[in-house]
Amino acid sequence: MPSLIPQFIKLNSKFNLIKPNDKILIAVSGGIDSLTMAKLLHEYRLSIDDSISLHAVHIDISQVSISQKQRNNLEKLLAKWHIPFTIIRGKIPENRKSNCYTCAKERRKQLCIYSDKNNFSSIAVGHNLNDYIETGFMNLIYHGHLESIQAEELMFNGVITIIRPLLTISKKHILSYAKGSGISAEKHYCPYGLKNKRETVRALLREISSKNRSFLKNLKNAIDSWDKSSHPSGGLSSKDL
pLDDT tens digits, 16-46: 999 999 999 999 998 999 999 999 999 999 9
Res 192: pLDDT: 58
Q: Which domains does the chain have, with CATH numbers?
A: 5-233 (3.40.50.620)
Higher pLDDT, 209 or 186: 209
CA distances from 134 to 71, 110, 111, 130, 227 (A): 28, 25, 23, 6, 14
Beta-carbon contacts of 143 under 8 Å, excluding residues fewer than 6 positions away, are none
Dump pLDDT digits (tens) for 50-105.
999 999 999 988 777 788 888 899 999 999 999 999 999 888 766 656 666 778 88
pLDDT at 144 over 60: yes
**pLDDT of 234 over the 60 cut:** no
Q: What local confidence, expressed as pLDDT, does residue 52 receive?
A: 98
Q: Give the number of residues written for the chain.
A: 241
Does this model's pTM top 0.85? My answer is yes
Residue range 208-225: mean pLDDT, rounded: 96
